[in-house]
Every structure is written in C-alpha cells, then in structure tokens.
Amino acid sequence: MLLEIQKLTKRFGGLVAVNDVSFSVEKGKVNAIIGPNGAGKTTFFNLISGFYKPTSGQIIFKGQDITRLPVNQRAKLGIARTFQTTHLFEQSTVFDNVMVGHRLRTSSNLFDAVFRTKRLKREEAECKEKAMEVLEFVGLTDVADKIVANISQEQKKRAAFALALATEPEIVLLDEPAAGVNPDETEGLEQLIVKIVDHGITVCLIEHKMSMIMKIAHKIMVLNYGGKIAEGTPEEIQNNETVIKAYLGGSADCLN
Ligand SMILES: Nc1ncnc2c1ncn2[C@@H]1O[C@H](COP(=O)(O)OP(=O)(O)OP(=O)(O)O)[C@@H](O)[C@H]1O
C-alpha cells in the first residue's frame, strides 16, 4: 500500500468531521472517495495533505508515519493536491503559475537570487523545463502565455493538475476536479486522470459526478456523517444497500 490511513478522527469542537476512518490507498490506481455534502471528504484530504492535524489516528506514507509532518514536508515526500476551487494566481500567466510547482524540488535561496548564482540559473531552467513538460501533458501548451483570468474554467482545472504534477508527486489528491465544467469537458478531465495513473502516479479522487467515478475508479470509499459506510469496487458500491439508502435517499439511479 502506498498510503495507509488508520483510525483517523478529526473533531471541530463538538462536530466529528472524520470519525475513525481507516482506508488503504492502492498504488497506481484511482482511489475514489464519495459521500453527500458535509460527509467529511475534504477534511479527510486536508488531514492527508497536512492542512489539518488529526485529533487521533495515523497516516502512513510508504511505510513512514507522516501524521505530524507539516504540509511542505509531505509535499516533498510526494503528496500533491488540488482544491475544489482552483488556487491559481489569476493575474499571472498559466506558465508562471505552473513554474512555481517545481520550486519545491529546488534549493536556491535569497543569496542565490541576489547574486544570480549558477545554481539559481540552473534551477530556473529546470523549473521552466518542468513547466513546459507538464503543460504539454495536460494539453495546455497553446495557452501557456495567457493570463489565468482569461482562460476557461476547464483550462483552469487542467492548470491546477499541471501545478500539482510539477511537484513530481507520487500521489495526487484531486478534490472535485470536474465541478463546474460541462459533460464534454468532464470526459476530457476523466481521460486526463486515466493518463496520470497510466504514468504511474496514484490518484485519490473526490467527486460528486457519479458517471465519472463509476467509469474510472478502481475502488471507492463512501463517507457519511464523517464515518466510512462502505468500501469496494464501483459495482459493489452501486449495489450496496447501505450506500443506496444512506447516501442516495433510497434511489440507486444517482449511482449510475
Ligand atoms: N475548519 C472547520 N471548522 C469547523 N468545521 C469544519 C471545518 N471544516 C469542515 N468542517 C465541518 O466538517 C464537516 C465536513 O466537512 P467537509 O468539507 O469535509 O465535507 P465534504 O464531504 O467535503 O463536503 P462537500 O461535498 O460539500 O465538499 C462539515 O459539517 C463542515 O461544516
């Protein structure tokens, strides 16, 4: 297992947002997390990526206990994430936004910047090369020089993927990547996620669009009121009575 979540709990005062959840993320697969609004999915991602500290439980990444590591150290170990609403600099170019990602892998400091050392120049060149590579990967080469504010919502989603990929992750946590895009664009993003997995990067995916989940997920965990109510293949989840009742209010149609 690439990532092992053991009995993870997060309380906000009296509210238990994530309640004693254990989950194994399989390497090289699309691992999906679904559940109704407020089920605790984003909180779960925030715990894995280090934005929140758990109340209890453990997070093991490649055999190492990362439960108390800060965000940047987890990112260096290879955990990247995207956000529900894209966190891009709207007034910068797509290229400049994505270049930032690879800085995680560089070591130039203020001294290098002030004196424009060889190391700085070499690392800048590396960041540019990486940015071009990931922009090509996500299909955004032709808008690389555009200001983010002037590109489409779907292109912003792709740029967010590119930014995550520029950090050279082993696992990417994608939080509702297809929110706010049309069905054709959703299919394009689906294909991009499959391409990411085909390149050996593990995906952990939160998404409300069931058609996408059922098509590309290898396994699915279902959260409800912070607790895990089911785990299995898309077929198993579609036929799970507890999921149909608790999550879908009794209709299996929503899972198709
Ligand atoms: N920082 C916070 N402080 C207090 N409560 C929070 C915080 N973050 C999340 N919550 C609460 O925890 C619960 C789970 O929220 P979370 O955003 O993880 O759900 P979700 O499954 O991602 O929902 P959605 O599908 O709507 O994005 C909610 O009741 C939410 O109000």
Compute the distance from residue 58 Cα to the ligand 1 centre, in Å: 20
12 lines ligand 1 (CB under 6 A): yes
- The DSSP result for the chain, as a single string, is --EEEEEEEEEETTEEEEEEEEEEEPTTSEEEEE-STTSSHHHHHHHHHTSS--SEEEEEETTEE-TT--HHHHHHHTEEE--SS----TTSBHHHHHHHHHGGG----HHHHHHT-HHHHHHHHHHHHHHHHHHHHHT-GGGTTSBGGGS-HHHHHHHHHHHHHTT--SEEEEESTTTT--HHHHHHHHHHHHHHHHTT-EEEEE-S-HHHHHHH-SEEEEEETTEEEEEE-HHHHHT-HHIIIIIHTT-GGGG-
Tokens standing for 180?
A: 């706010």
> 209: Cβ below 6 Å to ligand 1?
no
46 CA: nearest ligand 1 atom: 18
| Range 137-146 average pLDDT | 97
CA 84–ligand 1 middle distance (angstroms): 12
What's this model's pTM, rounded to 2 decimal places? 0.90
Q: Whose CA is nearest to atom 18 of ligand 1?
A: 40
- pLDDT surpassing 60 at residue 222: yes
Tens-digit pLDDT profile for residues 17-50: 999 999 999 999 999 999 998 999 999 999 999 9
**Ligand 1: centre distance to CA 42 (Å):** 7
Domains, in order of start, for the chain: 1-78+171-189+202-256 (3.40.50.300), 87-168 (3.40.50.300)
Within 8 A by CB and 6+ apart from 92, the residues are 147, 148
The closest-lying atom of ligand 1 relative to the alpha carbon of residue 35 is 21
* pLDDT tens digits, 155-169: 999 999 999 999 999
Confidence at 123, pLDDT banded by 50, 70, 90 = confident
ipTM of the complex: 0.95
Q: What is the pLDDT of residue 213?
A: 95
Cβ of 40 less than 6 Å from ligand 1 = yes
Minimal-distance CA residue to ligand 1 atom 16: 40
Q: Whose CA is nearest to atom 24 of ligand 1?
A: 37
Give me the pLDDT at residue 207, please. Answer: 94
Name 181's Cβ contacts closer than 8 Å, sequence gap at least 6: 153, 154, 157, 189
Type of residue numbered 188: G
Tell whether ligand 1 has an atom less than 6 A from the beta carbon of residue 43.
yes
Q: Is 17 touching ligand 1 by the criterion CB < 6 Å?
A: yes
